[in-house]
């Protein structure tokens, strides 16, 4: 059935008028509506497609058309499409009606749009800033607007005091002296425990505010944004090949997933056909990334309950996979492998032999690790029923990826939007219904075996002919498109818009951590504070991917 008819039908049933519709690519569908109908259209699609907000972002096109555009992306597994609803927002008095009361998964995106663009989500229940902390960044400065200079020296005059800000020659004496307001729980015997941003372990920075009465946590709020580096602004104006390197450093433990999502978006816009062999190599690398991270997380969960031997064992497994990565690609974290149009690295017959050999050993070690953990009563006692994330909560928050699968939501881009490569191999989407730490552990152990199986199947497909694995001289052309990859945490999404010069005009990045951090606040409720590290590790979310 023609997708235009399907979506026309959906909107007409909800009595939502639209301006136009088009199908720019096979897997994307875009609907243009007036600002007044934006909310109704989004809510209708949310209801019918049963999809959370996958992305909600603004773009500044005031220089060309005097407006901001606002786009909301949903996914539809049924129709195998990513649906984007777009509207224009007045450039002079930018505001739109907030979606988050009816559709909570839009909440964080709205806060982000407000701080980055100064577009007001009218009626939003929470307008606190996420990344630009009130203590260091003045009000009224919106870095993702196009008239905000990309280079820092242009907006801050060194002669001025650090609290004065100069943008486009206009000095604003905007002192940043705000304070972030945490939710307050009051009552007899309730006290607060502030933790972070510098933690005891070797991990990223974030602040957690616990409210506890006795031992159980009655509220936990995470304040993030500490690793905000302005990635989206840095990417603007770059050539696509320069940008690949930056996307690899968005989240260091998912560097391949991120660069792949970016490359796929650009390849889609420019109509570049990636050689089949290169797609297989990419899928293989993506699974290797999943393997080393799952091994690290399983070890991390063991260490967070004080079970050190299995954790040391898991770190041997992780090290073996990193060493294998190095052997295959020259980089332990699979950097410099992706390029626009394909991959830099050719796998030879010897590489495949080495891969098979070490994977055999890795799987054997992993079996032992699993036995040690699952046969330990005290370990099982800690993970079982700890940190439950209910299915309904997960759906409302828009939780995706591994955490969603552990709470009974079987979403997996590899199955839902398989492309060509993942159709060639057999694998199952792992689903658990418990939603607790054990469920997330089970998903990881099952996926570890699944991914290893997939890598071996990919190895069978590879021809190892020694031909080059990238499309020649990819011609960059203007346009916009969405790249999506099921990275080990979940869907990594890149919406890229290229201008006439072939450089990046806007790149919106959504790491699965951005969807999932809030789930942790719900999962820890009622658990005791000493179980927090375990719950946290069972999600293992990225700080830098969230903060950008």
Partner 1 sequence: MFEIIKNRLFKGVVTGSLRGMGPSRPEDLEALGQELKTAIHKRFGRSFHIREVDTGSCGGCESEIIATTNPIYDVQRFGVDFVASPRHADALLVTGPVSKNMALALKKTYDAMPGPKYVITLGDCAPDGGLFKGSYYVEGGVKNILPVSAHIPGCPPDPMTIIRYLLILLKV
Binding site for partner 1 (CB under 8 A): 131-133, 135-137, 143, 148, 150-153, 155, 197-198, 200-205, 225-231, 233-234, 245-246, 249-253, 255, 296, 309-310, 312-313, 315-316, 318-320, 322-324, 326-327, 332-333, 335, 358, 361, 368, 371-372, 375, 542-544, 547
- Residue 205 CB, nearest approach to partner 1 (Å): 5
CB of 245 or CB of 424, closer to partner 1: 245
Q: Taking the complex as a whole, how short is the minimal distance between the CB of residue 316 and partner 1, in angstroms?
A: 6
- Beta strands (DSSP E) in 196-350 are 207-213, 217-223, 338-339, 342-343
**Alpha-carbon torsion, ordered 141, 144, 147, 152, to 10 deg:** 70
The 3-state DSSP composition of the chain as helix, strand, coil percent (nearest 5) reads 45, 20, 40
Task: Let me know: does 279 contact 425? Beta carbons within 8 Å.
Answer: no
CB of 481 to partner 1, least distance (A): 24
Question: In terms of CB distance, is 228 or 431 closer to partner 1?
Answer: 228
Nearer Cβ to partner 1 (8/199): 199
One DSSP character per residue, 369-423 reads: HHHHHHT-HHHHHHHTTSS---HHHHHHHT--HHHHHHTT----HHHHS-TTTGG
**Distance of closest approach, residue 357 Cβ to partner 1, in angstroms:** 8
Nearer to partner 1, 227 or 442 (CB): 227
Is residue 283 within 8 Å of residue 457, measured between CB atoms?
A: no
The minimum distance between CB 538 and partner 1, in angstroms, equals 17
Q: Nearer to partner 1 by C-beta: 58 or 322?
A: 322
Smallest distance, Å, CB 245 to partner 1?
7
The residue among 98, 97, 70, 94 whose CA lies nearest residue 84 is 70
Residue 98 or 544 with smaller CB distance to partner 1: 544
Nearer to partner 1, 150 or 446 (CB): 150
Distance CA 378, CA 387 (A): 16
Judged by beta carbon, residue 245 or residue 391, the one nearer partner 1 is 245
Work out whether the CA dihedral 275, 277, 282, 286 comes out positive or negative. Answer: positive
Buried/exposed 514-544: b ≥16 CB within 10 Å, e otherwise: bbbbbbbbbbbeebebebbbbbbbbbbbbbb
Our CB check for partner 1 shows the closer of 7 and 333 to be 333
Residue-wise DSSP of 259-281: HHHHHHHHHHHHT----HHHHHH
Non-local (6+) Cβ contacts of 33 within 8 A are 16, 17, 18, 19, 41, 85, 86, 87
Q: Give me the least distance between CB of 224 and partner 1, in Å please.
A: 9
Measured from the CB atom, is 445 or 544 closer to partner 1?
544
- Cβ at position 303, least distance to partner 1 in Å: 10
User: Smallest distance from the beta carbon of 231 to partner 1, in angstroms?
Assistant: 7
CA distance 457 to 464: 14
Q: Which residues pair with 211 in a beta bridge?
A: 192, 219
- Smallest separation (angstroms) from partner 1 to the CB of 394: 24
In angstroms, the CA 8 to CA 265 distance is 26
Minimum distance from CB of 424 to partner 1 (Å)? 28
Nearer to partner 1 by C-beta: 268 or 489?
489
85, 11 Cβ separation under 8 angstroms: no
Minimum distance, C-beta of residue 188 to partner 1, in the bound complex (Å): 32
Nearest partner of 404 among 419, 415, 417, 393, judged by Cα: 393
Q: Which residue's CB is nearer to partner 1, number 435 or number 490?
A: 490
Rounded to 10 degrees, the C-alpha dihedral 240/246/248/250 comes to: -130
| Nearest alpha-carbon partner for 75 in 55, 59, 57, 58 | 55
The least CB distance from residue 543 to partner 1, in Å, is 7
Buried b (16+ CB within 10 A) or exposed e, 314-336: bbebbebbbebbeebbebebbbb
CA distance 540 to 546: 12
Nearer to partner 1, 373 or 482 (CB): 373
β-partners of residue 81 are: 76
Q: Which residues contact 330 (CB under 8 A, 6 or more apart)?
A: 336, 345
């Amino acid at each position: 059935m023609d997708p235009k008819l399907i979506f026309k039908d959906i909107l007409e049933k909800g009595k939502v008028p639209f301006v136009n519709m088009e199908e720019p690519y096979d897997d994307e569908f875009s609907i243009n509506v007036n600002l007044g109908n934006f909310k109704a259209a989004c809510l209708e699609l949310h209801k019918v497609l049963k999809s959370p907000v996958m992305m909600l972002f603004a773009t500044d096109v005031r220089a060309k058309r005097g407006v901001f555009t606002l786009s909301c992306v949903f996914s539809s597994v049924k129709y195998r499409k990513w649906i984007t609803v777009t509207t224009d927002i007045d450039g002079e008095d930018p505001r739109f009606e907030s979606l988050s009361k009816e559709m909570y998964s839009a909440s964080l995106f709205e806060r982000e749009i407000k701080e980055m663009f100064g577009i007001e989500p009218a009626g939003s229940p929470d307008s606190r800033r996420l990344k630009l902390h009130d203590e260091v960044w003045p009000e009224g400065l919106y870095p993702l607007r196009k008239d905000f200079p990309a280079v820092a020296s242009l907006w801050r005059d060194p002669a001025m005091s650090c609290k004065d800000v100069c943008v486009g020659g206009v000095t604003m004496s905007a002192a940043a002296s705000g304070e972030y307001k945490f939710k307050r729980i009051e009552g007899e015997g309730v006290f607060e425990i502030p933790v972070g941003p510098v933690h005891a372990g070797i991990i990223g920075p974030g602040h957690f505010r616990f409210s506890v009465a006795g031992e159980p946590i009655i509220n936990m709020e995470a304040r993030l944004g500490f690793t905000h580096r302005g990635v989206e602004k840095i990417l603007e104006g770059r050539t696509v090949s320069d940008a690949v390197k930056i996307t690899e450093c968005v989240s260091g433990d998912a560097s391949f997933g991120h660069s792949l999502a970016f490359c796929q978006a650009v390849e889609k816009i420019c109509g570049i056909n990636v050689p089949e062999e290169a797609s297989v190599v990419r899928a293989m690398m993506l699974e290797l990334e999943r393997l080393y991270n799952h091994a690290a997380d399983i070890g991390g969960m063991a260490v967070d309950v004080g079970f050190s031997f299995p954790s040391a064992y898991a770190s041997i497994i992780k090290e073996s996979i990193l060493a294998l990565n190095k052997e295959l690609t020259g980089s332990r974290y699979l950097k410099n492998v992706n390029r626009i149009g394909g991959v830099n690295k050719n796998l030879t017959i010897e590489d495949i032999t080495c891969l098979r050999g070490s994977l055999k050993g890795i799987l054997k070690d992993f079996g032992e690790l699993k036995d040690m953990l699952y046969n330990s009563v005290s370990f099982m006692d800690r993970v079982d029923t700890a940190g439950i994330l209910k299915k309904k909560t997960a759906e409302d928050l828009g939780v995706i990826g591994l955490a969603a699968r552990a709470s009974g939501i079987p979403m997996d881009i590899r199955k839902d939007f398989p492309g060509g490569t993942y159709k060639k191999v057999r694998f199952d989407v792992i689903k658990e219904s418990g939603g607790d730490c054990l469920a997330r552990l089970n998903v990881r152990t099952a996926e570890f075996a699944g991914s290893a199986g997939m890598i071996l199947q990919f190895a069978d497909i590879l021809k190892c002919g020694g031909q080059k694995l990238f499309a020649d001289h990819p011609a960059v052309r203007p346009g916009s498109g969405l790249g999506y990859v099921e990275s080990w945490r979940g869907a990594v999404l890149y919406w890229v818009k290229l201008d006439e010069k072939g450089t990046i005009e806007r790149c919106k990045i959504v790491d699965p951590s951005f969807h999932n951090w809030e789930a942790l606040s719900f999962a820890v409720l009622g658990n005791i504070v000493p179980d927090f590290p375990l719950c946290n590790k069972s999600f293992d979310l990225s700080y830098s991917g969230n903060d950008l």
